[in-house]
Amino acid sequence: MSNKKKDKGTEGGGGTIALNKRARHDYHLEDRFEAGLALQGWEVKAIRAGRANIGESYAMVRNGEIFLYGSQITPLISASTHVVANDRRDRKLLLHRHEIDRLLGRVEREGYTLVPTAMYWKNGKIKLEIALAKGKQAHDKRATTKERDWQRDKQRVMRSHNRNA
């Protein structure tokens, strides 16, 4: 047995697999939940190789369960001997019943959307972070961009001021 640490991003390492960077730009993100994913064996191998994309995905409630739609896991050529039917299939999210009920109520009554924000390793398992989100209007997106630019400029000025002092 070796005493080497596992690298971030490998199984059990706790590293990030995929991020949905557009989610922060397009939505006001509120509550976040951690969900497990029901995956097939070839999907785990492909994710381990870094072939997952959640950029255009979303989650919806169907028959009292939550499913992930639009996520892409591209199969490895050598991963299996059988033909993979669909790399964008619907994947079931594994949550506690009270979490599903809470999400269902907020989505149906208050008009929220379930947006995946990150996929990562935790304790050797693949987890998906989903957030309750409200869509941003165009003027909200401009305001967010303006605020981010202002914070960046402010940091730049402070750094140069501290160097000269």
DSSP assignment of 1-27 equals ---PPPPTTSTTS--EEEE-THHHHHE
| pLDDT at residue 83 in the model | 57
What is the pLDDT, as a whole number, of residue 107? 85
Phi and psi torsions of 76, nearest 5°: -75, 145
Q: Is residue 120 part of a domain?
A: yes
51 domain-assigned: yes
Residue 101 lies in a domain: yes
Backbone angles phi, psi at 129, to 5 degrees: -90, 120
Do the domain assignments include residue 117? yes
Confirm whether 143 is domain-assigned: no
CA–CA gap between residue 32 and residue 130 (Å, rounded): 6
Give me the phi and psi of 94, to 5 degrees please: -100, 110
Full residue range of the structural domain in which residue 32 is found:
16-135
Q: Which tokens hold the place of 151?
A: 């914070």
Number of compact structural domains in the chain: 1
- The Cα diameter of the chain in Å comes to 66
* Segment-wise mean pLDDT, segments of 10 residues, the chain, 165 residues: 44 72 81 90 85 88 90 77 70 92 86 88 91 79 84 89 79
Taking the model in full, what pTM does it have?
Answer: 0.70
Residue 4 lies in a domain: no
The vertex-75 CA angle with 50 and 79, nearest 5°, equals 100
DSSP of 28-75? EEEEEEEEEE---HHHHHHHHTT-EE-TT-EEEEETTEEEEES-EEPP
- Check if the beta carbon of residue 54 is closer than 8 Å to that of residue 47: no
Q: Find the CATH number of the domain harbouring 96.
A: 2.40.280.10
Residue 3 lies in a domain: no
What integer pLDDT is reported at residue 69 of this predicted model?
92
Q: Does a structural domain hold residue 144? A: no
